[in-house]
A = this chain, B = another copy of it.
């Protein structure tokens, strides 16, 4: 782990979830007039994500991302600085035009299993107590962003040592949710 920067928020371990925590404010990296987003609930399903689309701080191999009901997410300062990174993506990432930080990701497709949940990076908040990461997803995808193939064993074992199971898609619980949603749409669902 010495020479792999997984993510500053987990490289040296992390605090457990504060069960009494109920939200906070996310700020972009701009020194002046930062975009501010209030999240009025504890987050769920926080995890390290190796996909190429999630925002990562400089030098980090993984993003840390959680979800929260979209109605709990509101922009409270400098909304004019926000742009959507890719309108055609399933998750529309609302980012600061100036510093590039992603403030929240939103799914507008009402037929998607995760519609109603926004994706947020709680490292952008000064508060502590947010849900702790519980697994690492899309681990193999870091290769696509330039991570050396020869380091993959070390990356997976470093994540495991932090208590994070590693998956090359999402976790089994979330993959089952996605498959169940598809089954309902196809008419093949069985409880």
What residues make up the interface of A, taking CB atoms closer than 8 Å to B? 139-150, 152, 156, 166-170, 172, 175-176, 178-180, 182-183, 186, 188-191
Please give me the residue from chain B that is nearest to A147 by CB atom. B190
- Rounded to whole Å, the gap between the CB of A61 and the closest CB of chain B is 12
A176 to B140, CA, bound (A): 5
Verify A176–B149 contact, CB threshold 8 A.
yes
A79 to B23, CA, bound (A): 65
A-B pairs with beta carbons under 8 Å apart, 10 shown: A143-B183, A143-B189, A144-B179, A145-B188, A146-B183, A146-B189, A149-B180, A156-B172, A168-B169, A169-B169
Residues in B with CB closer than 8 Å to A156 are: 172
- Rounded to whole Å, the gap between the CB of A131 and the closest CB of chain B is 22
Among A142, A166, A175, A179, the most chain B Cβ lie within 10 Å of the Cβ of A179
With A144-B188, A150-B191 known as contacts, the answer to whether A172 contacts B176 (CB < 8 A) is no
Verify B141–A191 contact, CB threshold 8 A.
no
Known: A139-B175, A146-B189, A167-B168. 8 other contacts (CB 8 A): A140-B176, A145-B188, A146-B190, A152-B176, A156-B172, A166-B172, A168-B170, A169-B169
